[in-house]
Structure formats: structure tokens, C-alpha cells
Amino acid sequence: MVGVGAAGVVADWHLAASPSPPLVSPWKPDNLPRVEVVHPRRAAVAQRLQTNATLEAFEESDLFAKVSGYLSDVRVDIGDHVKAGQVLAIIDVPEMKQELAEAEAQLESKKSSLESARHQLDHNKADAALQNALAKDREQLGEGRQFISDRTLDQVHANADIAKADLGVAEANRDLAANQVDVATATVEKIKTLLAYTQIVAPFDGVVARRQVNRGDLVQAATATRTTPSAGSLFTVQRIDTIRVFCDVPENDVPHLHVGDPAIVKPSGFDGKAFMGNVTRFSLRLDPETRNMRTEIDLPNPKERLYPGTYAEVSLEMSRRPNVLTVPAAAVGSDDGGSFVYTVTDGRIARLAVKTGLTDNGRIEVATGVSEETPVVASSKGVPPLTTAVQPQMIRENS
């Protein structure tokens, strides 16, 4: 019995001396599932659109001949810079010059006739005044004393009437001659105008983009059916100091589009170099076939490195909001109840309903539901069930 008791004491001593396994509580923080949380932060967001675009000249004009004839001089070629009003080519129309000479001679003749008619009118005015004066004198002499016979007095009155009638004819001849001068003047001006069309001039400062004629070519006056570059135009002049960038905005993005919205234009051939601009104008209508709205961006081109016809990529920044509360886009979930985020309240998972806005660069605007101090679970996927005790771990986001 003593041996057994001693052995038992020794065994108890060994048990007391050996380390015992620790007691683990299921609610100890180290055993709780960890969830990554972030604080909402303020940032600028915008509705962004990337689309294809085409560069075009700010102005482009196809120049046609107004009169028919042979080109006697061509003064410019493609790539030449021209000024408004500069003569680009001359059409030789000798018969029109002869018509002008004849019309000018006719005008001088009509002017001479008008001058003669005016002199005749002056003469008739003087004669009418004289006859009227004689008639009055004869009437005074004949009153009461019968110094002049009735026959003589009648003759005087008749002479006054004739002088008056001649004056009317002279006035009519003067008016006719004046009208003839007006017609002759209009004819001269018409021919001069047509002769002015023999000079093809630049409509604005620009560059000759297309030349389709040479000296000696016979050119025909443009008609309603010949107004395309392939049907009779002599030159195409483009204004390229400013470039129009044409792009199409889809129907869903149209409500966010405003004049002045920032735009980044990346033309082909510039190794990704970006040109900064702004939305200048849009058509205020959608194409019925594509449901897109034509939008233009004007880019200054003082060095003329941007060429019409170039393909480009455009990034539009619309409805920019500079200082709104945002969370990572992955933090927001949605279901039949609407949009929501998960948070940690008193160490347990909770759900908050939120109202969202624009999404930009991986972040989403949160208009209501959270504050800058709310710990928001960084991802709405794989979150433990509601009211689960968790250990939140704050993470730092990249700016």
C-alpha cells in the first residue's frame, strides 16, 4: 500500500510538473474571422466615355468655276498656304472682255443721250416760262382798253400751252434716257461681275488640299448637278489653324454631356500623345439609325501637326463632381432591396442601405447611408452572415 501510494504521489507530481494545454475560448479575438475594412473618402468622380473620332478641317471649301473658259494661269499647288481673296487661278474668256467693251460704249452713248435730254429739258423750261410771262403781259394790256385783239390773245395762250406740252415731252425724254443709262450701267456691272469670276480666289486663310486642274484646261461653269469634287471643282481649300474632332456619344451617355466637358484626344501616329480640349458643340439630336449624337471638340493647331482625316481616340469626362464621398466599387452590393454595403458595428457584421451615384476609376459615389467615419467592408463578396462576430482589419487604399 505504501509503495502504491508513493507511486501515485510521484505520478501526481509529474502531472503537475508537465505543461498542460491552454484553454481556448471560442470568442477569443484571435479566433474571429478577419474582414478588411476601409473608411469612405472624398474624391473627384466623373462619367467617362472612350470612343473613336475623326479629325477634320475647321472649314473646307470646294472651289468651282462660275464661267466657262480656258485656264490661263494656275498659281498654287497642294500644300500651299493662301490668304483670303488671293487669286489661285485665272480663266481666260476673251469674248466676255469684248462684251464688256461694247457694253461700256453703249453706256457712254446713253449717258450722252441723257445729257442732251437734260439740255433740251432746260430749253423747254425756259421757253415755257417765257410764253407764260408773255401771256400774262398780253392779258394785262388787253384788260378794259382793247389794246390787243382776242385773236392775238388766243395765239399767245396757245403758244404757252405748246411750250407747256413741249416741256412735258422733254421731261419724258429725260426720264427715258435716264432709264436707258440705268439699264446700260446694270449690263456693264453684270459683265464685270462675270469677269470677276474668271479669277478663282481663296475664300479664307488656309491650305490648298486638292488641285484638279492645270494650265490650258477647259473648265465648265458649275451647275446644280456638278457640285462635287469629282464633278468639276478646281481646288479644295481647308482651314486647319483649328481642327474639328468629330465623335459620337451613345444615347445612354447623352444626358451627362455638356459644352465645356474636358476631352482627351489621342490621334493616330503620335505615339499616344494626348491633346487636351473641351466639348465645343453637339448636334442636339440623335441619329435615328445609330442612336448616337454627333459631338465636336475644337483643337488649336498653330503648328499644323494635326491633319484632317486622321483617326483618333477620344476620352470624354462628363458630369464631373470634384468632392464627393466614395468607396471601392467592390464594396457595394445590390439585390432586390437596392444597393448596400457591409459594415462592422459592435464587432459584428451589419448591413447599410446606400444610394450610389457615378462610378469612376474603381470607386463609386455614395450619396447617402455612410459617413467618412463608417468602417465599410472592402468587398461585398464572401462576407460572413449578418451579426457574425468578426475582427475588422483596416487597410490602406492606394490614392
**DSSP string across 209-261:** EEE---TT-EE----TT--SGGGT--EEEEEEEEEEEEEEEEGGGGGG--TT-
Cell of 320: 464631373
Q: Checking phi first, is residue 346 left (phi over 0); if not, alpha (psi -120 to 50) or beta?
A: left
142 pLDDT band, cuts 50/70/90, is low
Share of the chain above pLDDT 90, in %: 64
Share of the chain above pLDDT 70, in %: 86
User: How many whole angstroms separate alpha carbon 247 and alpha carbon 263?
Assistant: 11
> 35-89: per-residue pLDDT in tens?
999 999 999 999 999 999 999 999 999 999 988 999 999 999 999 999 999 999 9
> 237-259: per-residue pLDDT in tens?
999 999 999 999 999 999 999 99
Q: Which of 32, 34, 36 is nearest to 327 (CA)?
A: 36
Predicted local confidence at residue 149, as pLDDT: 63
Dihedral of the alpha carbons of 189, 190, 192, 193, in degrees to the nearest 10: 110
Predicted local confidence at residue 11, as pLDDT: 39
Helix (H) or strand (E) holding 60: strand 41-63
**pTM of the predicted model over 0.75:** no
User: How many whole angstroms separate alpha carbon 375 and alpha carbon 257?
Assistant: 34
User: How many whole angstroms separate alpha carbon 38 and alpha carbon 28?
Assistant: 23
> 188-215: per-residue pLDDT in tens?
999 898 888 999 999 999 999 999 999 9
Q: Which residues of 68-77 are buried (b: 16+ CB within 10 A; e: fewer)?
A: ebebeebebe
HSE, side-chain direction, 13 A CA sphere, residue 307? 9
Predicted local confidence at residue 146, as pLDDT: 55
> 269-301: per-residue pLDDT in tens?
998 899 999 999 999 999 999 999 999 999 999
Mean residue pLDDT across the chain: 86
59-63, 186-190, 231-235, 379-383: least confident range:
231-235
Predicted local confidence at residue 139, as pLDDT: 67
Mean pLDDT of 348-371: 94
13 pLDDT band, cuts 50/70/90, is very low
